[in-house]
Amino acid sequence: MIRIATAVILATASPAAATEIFEAEGAWVGEGLLATGAEAPLERGRCRVEIAPDPEQRDVSVTGSCAVAAGVSDISLRILRSGDARVNAGFWSAATGQTVQFSGTEIGTAIEMQSTTVLLVDETPYESRVSVSAPDAESFAIRQLLRAEGAEAWRLVVDMTYRKAGG
């Protein structure tokens, strides 16, 4: 069974020069590198997501799928601004069948998040960090790191850049 790494799809709160997830809507396409498991090598991947923010820009839903040569996995994410530059998220992936909770902070033009629940892969618990940047007005980039609970070294499992589909 393939396990596409659970990538949190976020963008940053910043001036108009950057893409902002709570204002973004519609279809987006991500291209970059994904690992199909906690210890699997990175490989070329592509994600297609639909972003639906609420009108008050405090809550956004992201649904779609990510694919690598070995297969495709559906994903679903809900992100909530919780005040004082705090962000909370719940992310589900069909590849793992699990929902992982994240909490983080909007820092200038970036969001830094840390998992608050573990991702269980082959009975091994993993924790995750996600950093998101906005390199320009038409895109946002995501890097996700994963490590076995208690380990020192973090491992890159997602390195994706998203652009508006058809743009």
Q: How far apart are CA 62 and CA 78, in angstroms?
A: 6
Domains of the chain in start order, with CATH, are 26-164 (2.40.128.20)
In the chain, what percentage of residues exceed pLDDT 70?
85
Residue 167 has what pLDDT?
Answer: 66
Contacts of 149 (CB under 8 A, 6+ apart): 118, 124, 125, 126, 127
Instruction: Give the helix ranges, DSSP H, for the chain.
Output: none
Which residues share a beta bridge with 43? Answer: 34
pLDDT reading at 13 higher than 50: no
pLDDT digits (tens, 9 = 90+) for 57-105: 788 888 999 999 989 999 898 888 888 889 998 989 888 899 999 999 9
Whether pTM exceeds 0.75:
yes
Kindly indicate the confidence band of residue 134, based on its pLDDT and cuts at 50, 70 and 90. confident
Average pLDDT of the chain? 83
Residue 20 has what pLDDT?
Answer: 65
Q: How far apart are CA 35 and CA 156, in angstroms?
A: 8
Residue 109 has what pLDDT?
Answer: 67
Distances (CA, A) of 131 to 18, 111, 114, 149: 15, 6, 9, 19
Closest to 115 in 3D by CA, of 105, 132, 130? 130
Contacts of 2 (CB under 8 A, 6+ apart): 36, 37, 68, 70, 71, 73, 95
Residue 153 phi, psi (nearest 5) = -85, 135
